[in-house]
Amino acid sequence: MDEDEGRNLLVPVDDAEDCERALQWCLDNVYRKGDTIHLLHVVPHAHNSSFSHLDEHQDEMLAEQARGFIEDRFLRSLEASRVPYHVCIVRGETDTESVGQLICQKADELRASLVAMAAHNKGRLVRFIVGSTTRYCIRHSHVTVLVMQNN
């Protein structure tokens, strides 16, 4: 990437407050003029194949709810700071590995310079049995992953 070109910075978000802190840290410490922030959110697929028209309606409702919370919690501060951004809401499985794969794929697609993400507080047993999206991204991403730990 040319020195004068801006970078793509990927920030996966959900409704946890830790994501707001990860975005703010990224803006305060990594972002520079010309960069673009890409917010990525995964919404689950509706899985009722007998009623596909209901599935589509439910998918759209979930996507609309996601757009609403992203606007309320993230976009106002980006717009106030005049930071260029893109919002990507994708439908997919919401287990740890699937979300991690989607994040890594998006980072590659964007040729992101960085993935800045929050580590959510899960107990040790849950992390051991289920895993962690953050851990998945650290192990599989071709891009640098910055992890904001909980306070």
Q: Would 3 be classed as within a structural domain?
A: no
Within-domain flag for 13: yes
What confidence category does residue 92 fall into, taking pLDDT thresholds of 50, 70 and 90? confident
CB neighbourhood size of 40 (10 A): 25
Q: Which domain holds residue 27?
A: 8-148
145-148 and 85-92 beta bridge pairing: unpaired
pLDDT over 60 at 131, yes or no: no
Please report, as a single letter, which amino acid is at residue 22: A
Please report which confidence band the pLDDT of residue 71 belongs to, taking 50, 70 and 90 as the band edges: very high
In a domain, 1, yes or no: no
Q: Are 35 and 3 contacting, i.e. CB atoms less than 8 angstroms apart?
A: no
User: What pLDDT, on the 0 to 100 scale, is given for residue 60?
Assistant: 82
Per residue in 10-63, pLDDT tens?
A: 999 988 888 898 999 999 999 999 999 999 999 887 654 555 555 677 878 888
Which H/E stretch holds residue 39?
strand 36-44
| Total domains present in the chain | 1
> Which CATH number covers residue 123?
3.40.50.620
Most confident of 1-5, 40-44, 55-59, 141-145: 141-145
